[in-house]
Each structure stands twice: as C-alpha cells, then as structure tokens.
Structure 1
Amino acid sequence: MDKIEDTGAEVLGAGMLDSNPDVLELEIVDGDAPVDAEAVRRVIDAHFGDADMLLAAGPIDWPRLFVSDMDSTMIGQECIDELADFAGLKDRIAAITERAMRGELDFAAALHERVALLAGLSESAIADCLDQRIRPTAGAATLVRTLKALGAHTVLVTGGFHAFADTVGAALGFDRVVANHLGVAGGVLTGVVTGDIVDNTVKRAVLIDEAARIGEGTVSLAAGDGANDIPMIRAATHGIAFRAKPTARAAAHGRVDRGDLTAILDLYGISRDHWVTD
C-alpha cells in the first residue's frame, strides 16, 4: 500500500479472512520507525473511504464482554425525541438531543432540560411510543444473541430511560440494562429524572467494572454513536463507532459506516455459520 511507509509501518501481509471472505485483513508491523497509529488510520481511510473497519494492536479475539449504547445504536431512534412528539415538542427537544450527542452541551444538563419539558405528559405515551415508534436497528438481535452464544456477557447501558431500555434489552437478549429513571406520579410524567444520572462516566465505569468481574485480560467490545459514549469506547479493548457523530468516530478503534450491526461480527471474523438469527 503506497504511503504506508510514511507512518513508520509496513504491511506484512494482506488477504481475505478464511472465516469470512468479505473481510480484508491487513497485518501491519513496525517498519524503520515506531508506528504512528493515527497516521496508519488516515492512510487506510484514504484508500478505503467509508469501509467498515477495526484496528487493533494485536490479534483480534472474540469479546467476552459487550457493552452497548441504545439510542441510535441498538435502536434506530432517540427515545426522548419520539416521546416528545406525543407532547408536540419533538423539534425543540430533538435539537437539544443533537447538540448533546455532538458534545456541544453538558449531558446531564441537557437531559434535565429535555425531561422538564415533558412534565404533564401521560405515562401511557411511553407504551404508545414503544409500540408505534421504537424499532431495533437491523442486525441488533443477531449481534447480541451471537455474542452471547459465543460466551459474551452483554450489557445495554444508556443515558435514556428504563421505561424504554428494559423492553428493548429484553427483546434483543441483553443480560443487564443500565439506564435512567423517569419520574412519574398520578399517571403523568413529573418532568424530573430520579436517581443518579447515567452519563459518560457511568458508561465507562460499567464497562470497566464488568470486565474486572469477568476476569483479568477480558476482551471487551463497546458500541455507541455519540459524545456520551466516547469514554466507554476508549476504555474497551475494541470500541466501535456505529454510524456515529464525528467526535465518537474519531475516538473509536473501529467503525461501522456502511453495514448494519452484523458488520461487527464480520469485523471479528465470526463465521456466519455461528450467527444466531431470528
């Protein structure tokens, strides 16, 4: 590959994975100077564009822990934006959500601001929203169930709400759900979030604590799409940015820009014979 030498690296070998002929594997090693990992990534980006990819410093082993964001990752929607539509406030709340996902606003402050706008909305709107609006991202169930079948512990961790995440997590097969709690009283939303906020610090802590519980050397996989996912993505053995905002994409070890969530299985070289599908 031309220009790879400018990064201090050289391509030792390149070929299609035996387990998945759709995946190109490059083995890149130190050349005459220490490898500049970011420079390697820029060269690969220049040659392969928006190809789905995963960069690792060593052999890519299957994960024993999978921690994922929910909104715009495991599902195709932002739950609070869809819920806001039932209150006639979707555009206003979605604008705040977008800025928070890009890292332009403090997550906790933005969450409190959005939830406060929902005060007085009927609790029944949550069930209606789940039924009418919330749908899993293509490949989500196959990804979770396949990783579980291969021995991974799976955790859904979200800055969203248990009122949505518990249903989504159960449907997709997650072992554990970590989320925020919407205040409800008298059958309506109170406009407050109760308990501690699940923010980027909590997401990272969940990944680290679960990996420690499983054992030293645990290979962990994290997936997310926004600024709130960056610490978790960086802390994982393999952090994947799924159709992500630029800040999350730049922080990740890998990315999925083109495929659905089963592209992660492809990147691990997990043969489709092992996939657990509906």
Structure 2
Amino acid sequence: MTAARFLVVLDADSTLIRNEVIELLADEAGRRDEVQAATEAAMRGEVDFSTSLRSRVAALRGVPVEAFARVLGRIEPTPGVRELTAAVHERGGVVGVVSGGFHEILDSVAPELGVDRWRANRLQVADGALSGDVDGPIVDGAAKAASLQEWAAELGVPAHATIAIGDGANDLAMMAVAGLGLAFNAKPAVRAAASLVIGPQDLSQVIPLLP
C-alpha cells in the first residue's frame, strides 16, 4: 500500500454528516424522543457508550430493512465536508471515518463524500427487519482510537501527522492518540479536551490546519 503524507479521521454522526442516524431509524419505530435523549447522554459521557448503544438499538426492533433507503434520503452532509476531503487528497493525505453509527448507512454515504476507509457498527437483521441487536463487536471509544492507530501504521503515517475530528465523549480516546484532536460541533467535555475547537459548523475550516 502506498504511504500517505497524513491521515484525517472523522466521526460520522454530527461530524461527517449533520444527522444522528440512530435517531432517524428511531423515527421509523416511533421512538425518536427516547432514543434522542439516550444519545445525548452518551455523547456527554454520562453513560457507557456500549451499554447505551445496545439499549438504543433494542428500541429499533421491528424496523424493516426498507427503512434504510428512507433514512439515506434524509442524510445531510456537513457543510464543507467535500471541500475538506478534496483538500486532504490534493495534499497527499487519506480520509478515514470511524463511527459508533452503522455500516448500513455509512457504506453509501462515505464514498460519496470522498472518504477512503471507514469502520462502524452493524445492525442484526432477522426476517427482513432489525432484531434489536448489534451484529459483532461494538465500535466504541477504544475501537475508534485503535482504528486511527491501525490505519496510520498501515499507511506509514507517524502519530504526529494524524488528525482526529469528533463531537462526543466516545471520540475523546481517538482525539487523545492523534497528533491533533479537533472538537467539531462538540459537547463541553470534548471542547475542553481538544487541541482546537472548530466552528461554526463548516468542515472546510479544518483545511488551513492540514499539513
């Protein structure tokens, strides 16, 4: 594999895209309010992410797989995201996304937005509908940090040439191991821990920080 000059890794929900996908799926089950409250608590770091995700996915039980197409139609890319990924590529970098969200949506959204590699959770399906369980190990904060380090090693990118961008408590570990940790559209605890806080909600603001 060709070495890259640097690596930028983003969170997906409320970072790469403006939405929280699990809340859009919960709309399909008529349970958005309860799932939204649980998501907010998890992003603030008030509850364990994996435990919270399992409880929120349980609320999606019975949602038909056809709902994925409807959710995809509601996805809003974050302003500036295409400009950012293009700028990374022009400078010889690679863009990764590691998400506590879901491959079922990210597999369509990520390549369209110029993302080179991505990792997320998978939803278990039975008889054409969501079972209410996660399929496989959960992508949590530790998995996000490990993904950044693994991709950097594969690409021959030193730690100081990595940038992590996130908004929630489960992004803190990834931001801590990166050369530069950027809080974007972030909760207070994340803003406090970040190297820099980026705003307003436009990812093209990251471009001047690229190596």
Structure having the higher helix fraction is 2
Q: Which has the higher contact order (CA 8 A, sep 6+)?
A: 2
Aligned equivalents of 1:172 and 1:92: distance in 2? 30
Percent of residue pairs bearing the same amino acid type: 45
Residue matched to 1:200: 141
Q: How does 1:1-278 map to 2 (within 5 A)?
A: 64-131=6-73, 133-215=74-156, 217-218=158-159, 219-268=161-210
State the one-letter code of the partner of 2:80. Answer: G
Aligned equivalents of 1:84 and 1:148: distance in 2? 35
Query: Aligned pairs, how many?
Result: 207
Bigger CA radius of gyration: 1
The answer on whether the counterparts of 2:122 and 2:136 sit within 8 Å (CA) in structure 1 is yes
Note closer, same or farther for the CA distance 1:259–1:110 as it changes in structure 2 (3 Å cut): closer
Aligned equivalents of 2:157 and 2:178: distance in 1? 13
Task: Give the match's secondary structure for 1:223.
Answer: strand
5+ residue gaps, structure 2:
none
5+ residue gaps, structure 1:
1-61, 271-278
**TM score, norm. by length of structure 1:** 0.72
Note closer, same or farther for the CA distance 1:199–1:83 as it changes in structure 2 (3 Å cut): same
Task: Give the match's secondary structure for 2:138.
Answer: coil
Q: Name the Cα RMSD after superposition.
A: 1.5
- Give, in angstroms, the shift of residue 216 of structure 1: 5.9
The answer on whether the counterparts of 2:185 and 2:201 sit within 8 Å (CA) in structure 1 is no
Note closer, same or farther for the CA distance 1:263–1:199 as it changes in structure 2 (3 Å cut): same
